[in-house]
Amino acid sequence: MTREKIHLFDTTLRDGQQTPGIDFSVEDKIAIAAMLDAFGLDYVEGGYPGANPTDTAFFTKKRTERAGFVAFGMTKRAGVSVSNDPGISQLLQAKADAICFVAKSWDYHVKVALGCTNEENLDAIRESVEAAIGAGKTAMVDCEHFFDGYKANPQYALACARTAYDAGARWVVLCDTNGGTQPPEIREIVAAVIAAGVPGSSLGIHAHNDTGQAVANSLAAVEAGVRQIQGTLNGIGERCGNANLVTIIPTLCLKDTYASRFTTAIDTEKLVELTRLSHAFDELLNRSPDHQAPYVGASAFATKAGIHASALLKDPKTYEHVEPQSIGNFRKVMVSDQGGKANFINELKRRGIAVGKDDPKLDQLISIVKEREASGYAYEGADASFELLARRTLGTVPSFFSVEGFRVMVERRFDANGHLKTVSEAVVKLVIDGVRVMSVAEGDGPVNALDLALRKDLGKYQTEIDDLELVDFKVRILNGGTEAITRVLIESTDNTGVRWWTVGVSENIIDASFQALMDSVVYKLMKNRQLAGKIAAE
Burial class for 367, CB neighbours closer than 10 Å (0-12, 13-18, 19+)? exposed
In whole angstroms, give the CA distance from residue 143 to residue 105: 6
What pLDDT score was predicted for residue 336? 53
* 439 contacts: CB under 8 Å, gap ≥ 6: 427, 428, 430, 453, 454, 456, 457
Q: What is the rounded CA–CA span in Å between residue 386 and residue 436?
A: 29
Residue 71's DSSP bridge partners are 47, 99
DSSP label of 318:
G
Give the model's confidence band at 380: pLDDT under 50 very low, under 70 low, under 90 confident, else very high: low
Q: Which amino acid is at 239?
A: R
CA atoms within 13 A on the CB side of 1: 9
Q: What is the largest CA-CA distance in the chain?
A: 85
Q: 52 vs 84, 315, 434, CA distance in Å?
A: 20, 54, 60
pLDDT beyond 60 at 306: no
Q: What is the mean pLDDT of residues 397-424?
A: 92
Strand order in the sheet with 435-443: 402-414, 420-432, 435-443
How large is the average pLDDT for residues 13-35? 94
Cα(183)–Cα(445) distance, integer angstroms: 50
Spell 511-532 as b/e; 16+ CB within 10 A means b: bbbbbbbbbbbbbbbbbbeeeb
| 486-493 vs 499-506, strand pairing mode | antiparallel
Which residue from 47, 52, 87 is spatially nearest to 63, judged by alpha carbons?
Answer: 47
Angle between helices 183-195 and 214-224 (to 10 degrees): 30
Residue 538 has pLDDT above 50, yes or no: no
**In this model, does residue 335 exceed pLDDT 60?**
no
Closest CA to 163 of 188, 180, 146: 146
Average pLDDT over residues 316-322: 75
Residues 314-331 have a mean pLDDT of: 78
Burial class (CB in 10 A: 0-12, 13-18, 19+), 488: buried
How far apart CA 8 and CA 14 sit, in angstroms, is 15
Give the model confidence (pLDDT) of 151-203 as tens digits: 999 999 999 999 999 999 999 999 999 999 999 999 999 999 999 999 999 99
SS3 state at 435: strand
Each residue's pLDDT tens digit, 482-526: 567 898 989 898 998 888 889 999 999 999 999 999 999 999 999
Q: How far apart are CA 101 and CA 173, in angstroms?
A: 10
Q: How confident is the model at residue 315 (pLDDT cuts 50, 70, 90)?
A: low
Q: What is the pLDDT of residues 429-466, one digit of tens each?
A: 999 999 999 999 999 899 999 999 999 999 999 999 99
What is 65-107 written as a DSSP string? SSSEEEEEEEPPPTTS-GGG-HHHHHHHHSS-SEEEEEEE-SH
With bands split at pLDDT 50, 70 and 90, how would you rate the model's confidence at 537? very low
Beta bridge partner(s), residue 473: 490
Burial 438-477 (b: 16+ CB within 10 A, else e): ebebebeebbbbbbbbbbbbbeebeebbeebebeebeeee
Q: Which amino acid is at 294?
A: P
Contacts of 410 (CB under 8 A, 6+ apart): 422, 423, 424, 446
The DSSP code for 49 is B
Question: What is the band of 536 on the pLDDT scale with cuts at 50, 70, 90?
Answer: very low
Closest C-alpha to 99, from 47, 147, 22, 56? 47
Using one digit for the tens of pLDDT, what is the confidence trace for 241-263?
999 999 999 999 999 999 999 99
Contact 277, 233 (CB under 8 A): yes
Q: Hey, is 310 helix, strand or coil?
A: helix
Q: What average pLDDT does this structure show over 80-105?
A: 97
User: Which has the minimum average pLDDT: 166-170, 240-244, 280-284, 357-361?
Assistant: 280-284
- DSSP string spanning 240-260? T-B-BHHHHHHHHHH-HHHHT
The string of DSSP codes covering 339-355 is --HHHHHHHHHHTT---
Residue 333 scores a pLDDT above 70: no
337 pLDDT tier (thresholds 50, 70, 90): very low
- Give, for 332, the enclosing helix (H) or strand (E): strand 332-333
Query: What integer pLDDT is reported at residue 11 of this predicted model?
Result: 98
Could you tell me which residue, 387 or 382, shows the higher pLDDT?
Answer: 387
Do residues 29 and 54 touch, judged by C-beta distance below 8 A?
A: yes
Is the pLDDT at 310 greater than 50, yes or no?
yes
- Please determine, for residue 408, whether its predicted confidence score (pLDDT) is greater than 70: yes
Residue 504: closest CA among 493, 491, 517 = 517
